[in-house]
Amino acid sequence: MITVGKKDGLSLKISHIVEESKQHELEMFLFIPGELGLNKDMVSESEFYYNSIQSQRTYFSDKNHLPLVHSRLAQRGRLSTEQYRLSLSLYAYQYALALEKAVQQLNDTSREEITHQEVDDAIDLAIDILRKLRRNVPYDDTLKRYYANIDNYLSWYTEQRFLSLLAHMPRNEEYKLVKERLVDICELESLHRLDKSYNSGKARDDMTRMSNKMRLLRRLIEFPIVLKEKNLALGKHIKRAVKGGATAVVMIFVSLMVIQARGFLGEITASFIFAVSFIYAMREVFKDDLRDVMWRWIRKGQPKWRKRYLDPTTNTYVGRKLEWLDYMTFSELDSDIQKLRKHRVVQREEVILSYKSQTKMAITKFMSGYEQTRETMLIDLRPIARLMEKGSQKIYQLNDGQVSKESVEKRHLINLIVRETMDDYSTQLHRWKIIVNRSKIIDIEKISIDSK
């Protein structure tokens, strides 16, 4: 399952869950308008990878009540501290993600289309989840402190999400009823934190201090479930060997040419020195070209980066991921991707940025009770947005015999195609349209691959 959304203006958020699969292959193709002039000389593959792509892989469980079961086991002393922390953090993390997604969907909905029932459903679910969490407070002081930190964050985060929803609500006839419920739950959560003495008076009075504290608590939640990554750029030793090999090949030809020049010109003269200088100048030119050709030939189709995943608690190896990133032309795409794009666009000058990853996870080494992982990738589109022209264009219309002029902002359409391949070699294709201007992502629309 893959979801695509936006985050912080020009960041594309792509999330997918690997469901009980040891191996998983993911391919993403960004079709960027050719008029922007993007190429590898302007933004290289390595520069885009390190500056514009961030990824995070976490444990995931669709058994929503498993953390509550673990909590009861911890109360009875039948569960280790590490397992309890992992379970409670996973529960809190998935609740925060679900609440963020639900509120974001409501905020993205047309203001006049938000219904009282939709808001009530979101509030009821949040109250129910928090109530179940608070039924199982551990007895151990160490676990109780960990629980308090998580309860503190979830209470504050719930209040913040619902306040943002209230700020975006349309001022229609249902606004008063919805406002009362949203205000009630926000006030209840604020009183809950005050009753538990979770935050000092200075923190409550200083918004900056409170925000920074909650950011640290969010990191506390994520620490036990976010897998550690060790990234390695592949091919370094091969690159050194290629550089040495190219130099050796060029020097052989240079030496032969110097010998030939000596035999033809005789003694060391000005002509001989000039010829040798010309030969060595040509060596510098052809050495770099030969090295680049050899490097591309040897590394063609090979992964460029490797990530090793480690369990954050035990530091044991739990999986690895190989990654590719290349600029491609339409003719280099395989038939499935070509077919999906060919009948939808007339112009073929698009620049295609292709990302591919192959993930292999050692499920048997996961923390007990978890067999799935969730990966979230953030793709920063700012290097692409910088190439877009500033300003707007004028559009003229004829209305009742009068000419009107309007300013229309310049927008560009980026197509995203994603292909998943599971360990049983089954594949799934997905496609999205991403409308972008120079400052933000305007809209993301998922397109059915069966529609014409």
Buried b (16+ CB within 10 A) or exposed e, 214-236: beebbebbbebbbbeeeeeeebe
Per-domain residue ranges for the chain?
A: 2-231+303-447, 235-299
Q: Are 62 and 381 in contact (CB under 8 A)?
A: no
In the structure, what pLDDT confidence band is assigned to residue 335 with cuts at 50, 70 and 90? Answer: confident
Q: Are 202 and 137 in contact (CB under 8 A)?
A: no
Q: Are 147 and 130 in contact (CB under 8 A)?
A: no
In the structure, what pLDDT confidence band is assigned to residue 7 with cuts at 50, 70 and 90? Answer: confident
- Write down the pLDDT at residue 451: 44
Measured distance CA(225)–CA(312) in Å, rounded = 7
List CB contacts of 448: < 8 A, sequence separation 6 or more. Answer: none
Task: Name the 3-class secondary structure at 113.
Answer: coil
pLDDT of 29 above 90: yes
Mean pLDDT across the stretch 437-451?
82
In the structure, what pLDDT confidence band is assigned to residue 422 with cuts at 50, 70 and 90? Answer: confident
Mean pLDDT across the stretch 353-373?
81
**Cα dihedral across residues 167, 172, 176, 178: positive or negative:** negative
pLDDT of 152 above 90: yes
What percentage of residues in the chain have a pLDDT greater than 90?
22
**Cα dihedral across residues 215, 220, 226, 230: positive or negative:** positive
- Write down the pLDDT at residue 381: 93
- Write down the pLDDT at residue 74: 57
Task: Give tens-digit pLDDT for 184-198.
Answer: 899 999 999 999 999
In the structure, what pLDDT confidence band is assigned to residue 268 with cuts at 50, 70 and 90? Answer: low
pLDDT of 450 above 90: no
- Write down the pLDDT at residue 166: 84
Mean pLDDT of the chain: 81
Task: Give tens-digit pLDDT for 47-87.
Answer: 999 999 999 998 887 665 555 565 566 555 566 777 778 88
The residue ranking higher by pLDDT, 43 or 450, is 43
List CB contacts of 441: < 8 A, sequence separation 6 or more. Answer: 6, 9, 10, 11, 12, 381, 434, 435
- Write down the pLDDT at residue 430: 92
Angle, vertex CA 151, rays to CA 154 and CA 2, nearest 5? 40
Nearest to 352 by CA among 416, 411, 404: 416
pLDDT of 424 above 50: yes
- Write down the pLDDT at residue 452: 38
